[in-house]
Structures are given as structure tokens and as C-alpha cells.
A and B are shown apart, each in its own frame.
Chain A
Amino acid sequence: MIQKKICILGAAGVGKTSLTAQFVFSKFSEKYLSSMGVKIDRKTVDVDGKQVNLMLWDIHGEEKYKKIPTSYLRGASGIMMVIDGTRPATLEMAQEILQRVETELGTIPHIYLLNKSDLTDAWSINDDDMQMLKNTGNPVFLTSAKTGDNVEASFLHLATALVTA
């Protein structure tokens, strides 16, 4: 069995836990997030006929005075960077987090999830921002934890990329 550690990162309130909850059935309650800053779930997916165990580390949202502890990211095979599509500030915070991770741990494969795509009226990420993300060479997904749109597809995409790399 292949096992991969995947960290789900992003600013506070972007919907990381909701995205994970859409994808897995949790064993641990969310109180671990508030107390320890991390909650771990598992999801087994099928990639090209191989069973892959994704260990999903849902890490608490980054805030001004509450930085993500990089020790939780050590050994991660991939990162899902979640951005709130209705709050452009979360895009900047995502870039800051990635920069810090790269400085401390080196480059880790990652994908961008522009979450809350169901809130079309409040959508604030413009085409330039989207293009900027795409230009990094990393996949970008428009997701909705509420409707489930693209959630499974994004996880599967990252799993496939990690296994076939």
C-alpha cells in the first residue's frame, strides 16, 4: 500500500475543514484543530489500479498572530493550498505561506483550490489573479465545499500527480 502525506493549508475561514469533510469520513473531531492545530484523516483512492492511502493533515488556518507550524508540514508529499474566492486577501496569504514553506522545507508539489465557487455574486478573484496562479505551473481548481464541485477531482488529481511523479 502506498501512503502519502498531504497537508491542507490556507488562511483562516477559507473552508479547508469543510473541503476535507466533503472528501472523507472523519475519525477525530474538530476539537483537535482548535487545541493542537491539526486534524488528521485518511482517504484511500484508486490511482491507475493502485490503492493509495492519502493521510490528510488539515492544519489550522493561518492568521496574523498564529502562524502555521512548519513541523506539521515536514515529510509532506503534497500541499493543497486553499483560497477563499470571495476574499482576495486569502490569495496573498496563500503566497506568503508557500514562500515560508519553501524557505524552510524546500519545494513541495502543490495545487490551488479557489473555494466557495458557489458564491458567484460575492466572487472577487479576477482573471488576472487566476492567470497569475496558472502561470506558476501548478494546477488550479474552482471548488465548492458546499456543493462538492471539483472536490474529489482535485484530491484525485494531486494523488495521481504524486504517485506518477
Chain B
Amino acid sequence: MNTDKTQNSNASMHELRKLLFEKESARIDKLESILLNQGLHAQEVAKVLAEAVELRNRSDEELSIALAPTIEKSIQASIARDPQALSNALFPVMGPTIRKSIASTLAAMLQSLNQTLEHSFSKQGFLWRIEAVKTGKSFAEVVLLNTLIYRVEQVFLIHRETGVLLHHLSSDPTHTEDADVVSSMLTAVQDFIRDSFAGSTDQNIETLSMGDVQVLIEQGPDVVLAVVCRGNSPRTLHETMQVAIEDIQQNFVDELTAFDGDTEAFIATDEKLSPLLIADYKNKTEEKKSPLKAILFVALMFAIIFSWWAWHQIEISQTNTQWQSYLERLKAEPGIIVTGISDNDDVETITGLRDPLSQDPKALLAEYQLQNKNIHFEFEPYHALQPALILKRVSRLIQPPKSVELLLEDQTLLIRGVASEVWLTQAEQAALYVAGVESIDSTGLSILSSSFEQKQTHFPIKMDALPVKPKKNIIRKEEPKKKVVVTDAVILQRAISLLKPPTTVQMVYAKGILYVSGKASASWIDFAKHNFSKVEGIDSFYTSNLTNQGTKP
């Protein structure tokens, strides 16, 4: 019973709630669906995101700080994915920046070059060079000492109370690594000197000096400005520093008051401090003239270098031409075969084969003006079968008398002229040992009678030392031809050879008579009269036209 009552009551309540809150219930369901739908969230946030970012940026910098890591990671991811996209986006910014930086560096280099050239090649520069040698200093150092009035090399902006370096500038951008330590030490040094000697915090150190380097110090209420200066700084530099301090104190009052060690804000002092990095040189008016002199000198140097280079090239070209001609000649030379030419460490090596009787390659070098060239010859010996060399070899072996001519035709040695029987016999035997001589033809040779054989040169070949005679062809005249008819010319020649007349004497032979005319000494005439009969074929000696010119031969 009770259960039925409760069920009826719940149903009634449900009915009642439905009647009273049906519309509200539907709205709650709708709101719930909006809240649970993530897609609808994004749409709603997107509608107000830009306004929200702008509003937050106006109030503080928390959003920038919060977004920084995300943006950094996004950039890293973008570069990792496609570096070209970011590179393209930055190109319009990076290009001008890089150009400006390069132009600035080049300008500084040119200025330095102009100054160096001016001082290097002027009369004054020459004297300074001597001074540099005498004192053992570098030339640049001497130039600097003589031309520099002063130069500010470093500027330190220091927080007065803590000694912390707020900003630093240097004429040499690479010389900045320990500036913060130096800044603190500079503060400590001031404290030390003040504690040791001054005794009052109102008194300040204005200058620290060592050699030609000075540290000029100016104090402000919150900052200390120190400049490192080389040379003799003008008093006005202190005033310039004071103006810079006042400017910084005025423009950075909030940053200095709230200073807690963060030096980021003081990078902006750069424009106020950079005018302090100044230098003053002597002879400024002369410097303006210097580029012309320098340019002329450089042009002259270039001209000299170019001339030397051109001359060197011509010389190389000539040498190459001569070298090629020499090689052509060597290749064409009988008895020389060039198999290789190599160039190693300026040494030319020619390899090949060479007949010992051929032309000496070294002797040819002078002909091509290559005596000074470093050439190394590596020739293996061989016997060349070219006719000229075969004849040479035969001549060396059989040593023919002057009245004999040797020729080679189709491997046949032709012997022409006049010679003795003994010589011919030995020559025929020996010549056949020479490679390239297959047969001998001496049909063109006249054999002297036995009385003349004794006057022939002794044949030098030791026939016993020769091996067995090779079987080769020897063509000789028939035996009757052994008795030869001696011509008038031969008889005259023999007479001249025997009597050796002076140049003032003329001799003619005809029909057994030797006609002698001209001038001769009495002794020669006497000698001729006693010896003319030794020449076969001369029966009488006719001297009617011969004049005695005295006893001198």
C-alpha cells in the first residue's frame, strides 16, 4: 500500500516539475551542451582573442613573457621543418643589415690601409722605419706613437654603488670579454686609493696614468664614467664625459633608481657613449693628399709585378718551344728512339734506346739553349740498323784509307776508290761481322801494285781475334784486274803526297815527266830531285820554270 502511494507521489511531483520548469529545463540542457562542446569553445574564444591580447598587453607584459617560450619553440620547429620559409621572411631585414655591417667594416679597413700606405712610403715613413729598426719596435707601433695625439680605446659606464658594469664600448669590438671584471676592479682601486689617501668620499679620482695610457674617470650621483685613453688626452675630454654623465643621469633616472643588477636597460646608453670613442691624429691635412700617392705607388707596384709576370710567361713559352723542338730533333735523330718523357719536380726525364755511335743528346742541348734545363737521360744501348750508323760502324772497324769511299745499298757494302790488296782482304773479312752488312761489292775499287802497299797505313784489325768468318757474299773484280792502270792524276797525287811542295810551287804530270814551276827553297828543290823517282810512273823531273828563292824551305 505504502509503496503504491510513494510511486503516485513521485509521478505527481515529476508532472508538477514538468509543468512549472519545462522551459528552464530546456535552456539548461542547451547551455550544458554548449559547455561540453569543445568546438563551440574555440569558436567563442576566437571571437574575442584579438581584443583580449590587446587589452592584456596594455596593462602589463605578462602575456609577452608567457608567450616567449612558445614562440621560441614555434620558430625552432619552423626552422627544423623548412628553413627556407623563415629565411625568405627575414631576407628583407637581414640583407640591408649585413650590407651595412660589411660596408662599415670595409670603410674601416680602407681608412687603415690609406693611413698605413701614407706612412709607409713617405719620407717621414722611411725615417720611422729606421726608428723602428733601431728601437726594436714594430713599424705600426712607431707610426702610432708619432702620429697619434690621443685615442679613446674603451668606455666603461659603471654603477657607482655596486661597481657593476652597466655598459661598455671598445674601439676594438673583440676586446670586451673581461670588461665587467675590469669595471669592478676599477671601482675597488678607487675605493682603495680613497681609503688609503683621501679619507673622504667626496673626493674622487680623476685620472689613473701608466705610460701613455690613462684612465679618465668622471663621477655622477649614480654612475661612474671611465674611459681608457692612449696618448695625450685634451682637457675637453673630461668636459665631454661630464656632459655624457649628465645626459645619462637625466634620461635613465628611473632605471638607475630601481637598479637591481639588470643591465639590459642600459644598452640604450650606447648612442650617448659612442661619441666618446674618438681619436685625434697629427698631419690631418697631409692625410687628405695621401690617397693619390698611395694609389700611384700601388699602381706602380702592380705594373712592376705585371711586367715581371709577363716576362716570366714569355720566357716559359720560349723555353717550351725550344724544348719541343729539341724533342722533335731527338726523335728524328738516327740511332735514338725516345720511348718516354716525364716531368717530376722540375726534372725532365727522357727514356729510350740509343746507339752509342749516334749523336750525343747532351751535346744537342746547347744548340737549343737548354743547357740550364734540368734533364736526366735514361737511354739503354742498342745497335741501330740505319744505313748511316751501319757505315759508321763499318768505318770504325775497317778504317779505310782516304782514297776509299764506302756506300751501303740494300745491305751491300760498296767499296770504291784505290786501296791495297792486303787492306781489302782484311776489310772484306771484318766488314761482314757488322750487323746490316750482308754482302760486299768491291768492284769499284782499284788495287794498288805491291810497291805501293808498303806505303799504306797499317791495318789495325787483329784478324786472329775475330770469330769464324761468317758466310756472306763477297764480290770482287776478276784476278787480271789486280794489275791496275794508274792514271796521270793518281801519279800526280802520289808525287804531291811524297814531295809535299810549298804553296808557291805548281806541279803538272804528263807522260812520265813531272813539271815543276814557281818558287821554292834550295833545300826543297834538292829534296825533290833526289826523291821524285820513288813515285812509280815518273821518269824525269823538269824544273826549268822553278826559281830558287833561298835556303829557307
Contacts and interface: CB of A to CB of B under 8 A. Distances in A.
Interface in B159-203: 159-165, 178, 180-181, 184-185, 188-189, 191-192, 194-195
Contacts of A110: none
A71 interface: yes
A4 B180 CA distance: 11
Contacts of A57: 184, 188
Nearest to B188: A38
Given A36-B189, A37-B192, A69-B191, A3 B178 contact: no
A58 to B, nearest CB: 11
Nearest to A77: B261
B61 interface: no
Contact of B195 (A4, A32, A53, A69): A69
A41 B159 CA distance: 17
A9 B264 CA distance: 29
Interface residues of B, number: 23
Contacts of B194: 71
B181 A27 contact: yes
A76 to B, nearest CB: 7
B162 A76 contact: yes
Given A1-B263, A69-B191, A69-B195, A75 B163 contact: yes
B165 A3 contact: yes
B254 interface: no
Interface residues of A, number: 26
Contacts of A37: 192
B514 to A, nearest CB: 120
A71 B181 CA distance: 17
B368 to A, nearest CB: 70
Interface in B181-235: 181, 184-185, 188-189, 191-192, 194-195
Given A3-B261, A3-B263, A36-B189, A75 B159 contact: yes
B184 A5 contact: yes
A74 B161 contact: yes
A75 B162 contact: yes
Given A3-B261, A3-B263, A55-B180, A40 B188 contact: yes
A53 B180 contact: yes
Interface string A6-41: 000000000000000000000110001000111011
Contacts of B191: 69, 71-72, 74
Contact of B164 (A5, A27, A41, A69): A5
B262 interface: yes
A153 B353 CA distance: 86
Interface in B126-156: none
B262 A38 contact: no
Given A75-B161, A77-B162, A40 B181 contact: yes
Contacts of A27: 178, 181
B229 to A, nearest CB: 22
Contacts of A3: 162, 164-165, 180, 261-263
A90 to B, nearest CB: 24
Contacts of A53: 180
B185 A28 contact: yes
A1 B185 contact: no
B188 A4 contact: no
Nearest to B184: A40
A116 B188 CA distance: 29
Contact of B184 (A52, A55, A77, A162): A55
A32 B192 CA distance: 11
Interface in A39-78: 40-42, 52-53, 55, 57, 69, 71-72, 74-77
A132 interface: no
Contacts of B181: 27-28, 40-42, 55
Nearest to B178: A27
Contacts of B195: 69, 71
Contacts of A75: 159-164
Contacts of A2: 260-263
B208 to A, nearest CB: 13
Interface string B254-268: 000000111110000
B264 A1 contact: yes
Contact of B188 (A36, A42, A77, A162): A36
B541 to A, nearest CB: 122
B482 to A, nearest CB: 117
A5 B158 CA distance: 13
Given A53-B180, A71-B194, A77-B261, A5 B163 contact: yes
A37 B188 CA distance: 9
A55 B162 CA distance: 10
A36 B178 CA distance: 19
A10 B181 CA distance: 22
A53 B262 CA distance: 10
Contacts of B263: 1-3
B188 A55 contact: no
Nearest to A32: B185
Nearest first, the 5 A-B pairs at minimum CB distance are A75-B162, A75-B161, A71-B191, A3-B164, A40-B184
Given A4-B261, A55-B184, 14 more contacts: A1-B262, A1-B264, A3-B162, A5-B164, A37-B192, A38-B188, A38-B192, A55-B180, A69-B195, A74-B191, A75-B160, A76-B162, A77-B261, A162-B261
7 contacts: A3-B164, A3-B165, A3-B261, A5-B163, A32-B185, A55-B180, A71-B191
Interface of B: 159-165, 178, 180-181, 184-185, 188-189, 191-192, 194-195, 260-264
